[in-house]
Amino acid sequence: MSKLYPSTTKGIFIMLFSDLRLSAPILKAVHEEGYTTPTPVQEKAIPPILEGRDMLAGAQTGTGKTAGFTLPILEILSRETHPKGKNHIRVLILTPTRELAAQVGESVQTYGKYLPFKSTIIFGGVGIQPQIKALRSGIDILIATPGRLLDHVSQGTIDLTHVEILVLDEADRMLDMGFIRDIRKVIAILPAKRQNLLFSATYSDEIKKLCESILKNPAIVEVARRNTSSELVTQKVILVDCKRKTALLGELIKKNRWAQVLVFTRTKHQANKVSDYLIKIGISAAAIHGNKSQGARTKALSDFKAGIVKILVATDIAARGLDIDQLPHVVNLELPNIAEDYVHRIGRTGRAGNNGEAISLVCVDEYDYLKGIEKLINRKLERETIAGFEPDLTIKPEPIQQGRGQRPSGAPKRKDNAPREYVEKRRERNR
């Protein structure tokens, strides 16, 4: 019989962090973050992880999943007596993007600040030497993206033979981005006896296959998907002509005095264009996408968090996993061509008990995307128009690839439907 773990969902009792058998240094750090009660994924995931079980957790960003695995991992490490001498990598956390790696790394630092463990982050796009130096200094917890991790493996600058716990965070996204072979290569060099934790927002056949090959008798943790359950996010569609979207965005920001908005575009080119336009009309904005240096991305994110920059314009990959608390507004300036990405996008708002608003500016070219999204989330989104920006009903839809304003003039046409950034990510990894 499967073991039952207590839950607040039936309203019988409220679980506290102190009920979770976490030690004082961890509880102190958690309380300093201002968390009072564990989120559902934390309630459900922490006990079985502490028991040493493998886990398959269906949880998206925004559910508190990072603490859901970081807290019990820190607890497990602190329970085992520390081998004297140089530290070994005992925990390996793989993430799909640098941003997510950075955020998980931050969480490990925050929750582990009263513990003696050392952690570091390694990802591509930045110099390898500082990472080699950090690894040499002795690391207990390593957070890495697969491509750069394998670079270290092939250069012999990393020792993964002491890994006790492997976490695959956002495993579905890693597979989407073509990391499956890299993941398998990494797993092949890890010790066979280890605890495996796999977090994924979706459960495709590919994920199922991966789980079957690496998880042993896993505890299964499922929390409500944000797309269907989150009543905290108001979702709205504004119909507008493609070429007037940017002007409408500026108008909405000014008229509603929005102070913090994450705006999504499908392409890097469009992200730059929108950010430039907003700056031109006197609204502080920054673009964040794969062509920006790591330093520029980090600065844009911290300026946005600090309120120095009001509008952050991002592509899907760049925004993936961004940890921005209590984001009040998300605007889809362009709908994503993958319906699942819509769910990830709106997951940036309405977090941890705060209301949020997700507004999609939709033009005639995107009606098929809208239909796909509504099918996925199983509900029809409210549509409206804004006075002065009503769509011209005589305009006929054009395919998005060749569509209005999608391609910088002179840029080559894309050959297929594969999200451009995934392809570029792969290229970057292979460089």
Q: How far is the CB of 422 from ligand AMP (least distance, A)?
A: 21
Per-residue interface string for the shown chain with ligand AMP, residues 205-224, x marking contact by CB under 6 A: --------------------
User: Which residue number, 63 or 120, has a Cβ lying nearer to ligand AMP?
Assistant: 63
**Cβ contacts of 311 within 8 Å, gap of 6 or more:** 253, 258, 261, 262, 263, 275, 278, 283, 284, 285, 286
Task: Report the C-alpha gap between 140 and 86 in whole angstroms.
Answer: 10
Kindly state the smallest distance separating residue 72's Cβ from ligand AMP, in Å: 13
How near is the Cβ of 238 to ligand AMP at its closest, in Å?
A: 28
Q: Does 352 bind ligand AMP (CB under 6 A)?
A: yes
Residue number with CB closer to ligand AMP (222 or 382): 222
156: left (phi over 0), alpha (psi -120 to 50) or beta: left
We find the least distance from the C-beta atom of residue 35 to ligand AMP, in angstroms, to be 4
Q: Which is nearer to ligand AMP, 38 or 112 (CB)?
A: 38
Q: Which residue is nearest to ligand AMP (CB)?
A: 66
User: By C-beta, is 39 or 275 nearer to ligand AMP?
Assistant: 39
List the one residue out of 160, 148, 144 whose CA is nearest residue 101. Answer: 144
Residue 323's nearest CA partner among 130, 28, 97, 131 is 97
Q: Does 347 bind ligand AMP (CB under 6 A)?
A: no
Q: Cβ 51 to ligand AMP, closest distance in Å?
A: 21
Phi, psi of 102 (to 5 degrees): -65, -40
- In whole angstroms, the minimum distance from the beta carbon of 38 to ligand AMP comes to 5
- Considering only residues 20 to 39 of the shown chain, the ones binding ligand AMP according to CB under 6 A are 35, 38-39
Beta strands in 90-215 (DSSP E): 91-94, 119-122, 141-144, 165-168, 195-200
* Planar angle of CA 427, 150, 128, nearest 5 degrees: 85
106 vs 151, which CB is nearer to ligand AMP?
106
Helix-helix angle 24-32:98-111, to 10 degrees:
120
**How many residues of this chain bind ligand AMP (CB under 6 A)?**
15
Shortest approach of ligand AMP to residue 33 CB, angstroms? 6
Minimum CB separation from ligand AMP for residue 175, in Å? 19
Kindly identify the residues of this chain, within the stretch 253-282, that bind ligand AMP according to CB under 6 A.
Answer: none
Q: Smallest gap, in angstroms, from Cβ of residue 326 to ligand AMP?
A: 9
Scanning residues 56 to 95, which ones bind ligand AMP (CB under 6 A)? 61-67
Which stretch, 55-63, 145-153, 291-299, 372-380, contacts ligand AMP (CB under 6 A)?
Answer: 55-63
Nearest CB to ligand AMP, comparing residues 107 and 265: 107
When the beta carbons of 14 and 352 are compared against ligand AMP, the nearer one is 352
Does residue 323 interact with ligand AMP by CB under 6 A?
yes
Nearest to 104 by CA among 314, 305, 320, 277: 320
Closest to ligand AMP by CB, 273 or 351: 351
Which of 64/250 has CB closer to ligand AMP? 64
CA gyration radius, the chain? 22
Smaller CB separation from ligand AMP, 170 or 421: 170
How many angstroms from the chain centroid is the CA of residue 159? 27
Instruction: Provide, rounded to whole angstroms, the least separation between the CB of residue 68 and ligand AMP.
Output: 7
Strand order in the sheet with 219-222: 119-122, 141-144, 91-94, 165-168, 195-200, 55-58, 219-222
Beta carbons of 378 and 384 less than 8 angstroms apart: no
Give CA–CA dist 233/112, Å, rounded.
Answer: 32
Eight-class DSSP state of 63 = S
Give 237-290 as a DSSP string: EEE--GGGHHHHHHHHHHHHT-S-EEEE-SSHHHHHHHHHHHHHTT--EEEE-T
Residues in contact with ligand AMP by the rule CB under 6 A: 35, 38-39, 42, 61-67, 323, 325, 351-352
